[in-house]
Amino acid sequence: MTTITETTIEADPTVPAVRMTRDFKATPAQLLKAHTDPALFARWVGPNGMDTEILAWDARDGGEWRYVARRDGEEYGFRGCFHEVSENKIVQTFAFEGFPEAVALETLTFEDLGNGCTRLHAQSLCDSFEGRDGMLSSGMDVGVNEGYAKLDALLEETTA
């Protein structure tokens, strides 16, 4: 399958937020499941070549999550809490354990475009402009784009 669109990643000039938008050939329910089912999430999250191990995953209002991504002997831990999980929206915190003081509040919204397509709107509100700029300069764009390409393939495989 070819990508419907590339991920648009924008830094808000007035608040320390990153906004991402991307269209998928999937229903909102399929995208929600890919973001909340730990076995599916581990298959697509992050850049190519990373192995993801889910250590905690309770995708419900008030639940927590934690995973570790590994490559070439290096390990990167991530954690957060689910604040809202509904059919069209996920609100969660996100922290990279390498910088645990920099916690972002993330909101993912699944917009039904019809014809089996969904637009994902994601916003990460960071605690400072420095934190936001650090996130942007970390190579997150590679992880996001490669991860979403893997998600495209996973969605195609699960709907075939």
Structure tokens at 106: 């993330």
| Angle, CA of 147, 39 and 155, to the nearest 5° | 50
Confidence (pLDDT) at 112: 98
Q: Is the pLDDT of residue 158 over 90?
A: no
pLDDT digit string (tens) for 13-68? 999 999 999 999 999 999 999 999 999 999 999 999 999 999 999 999 999 999 99
Domain ranges of the chain: 18-159
pLDDT at 139 over 90: no
Q: What is the pLDDT of residue 116?
A: 94
Rg (CA), the chain: 15
Sign of the alpha-carbon torsion through 67, 157, 5, 29: negative
Q: Whole-angstrom Cα distance, residue 76 to residue 153?
A: 24
User: Class assignment of domain 18-159?
Assistant: alpha beta
Report the predicted TM-score, pTM, of the whole model to 2 decimal places: 0.92
Q: Which helix (H) or strand (E) holds 120?
A: strand 117-125
- β strands within 17-98, DSSP E: 17-24, 51-57, 64-71, 74-86, 89-96
79-116 pLDDT, tens digit each: 999 999 999 999 999 999 998 888 999 999 999 999 99
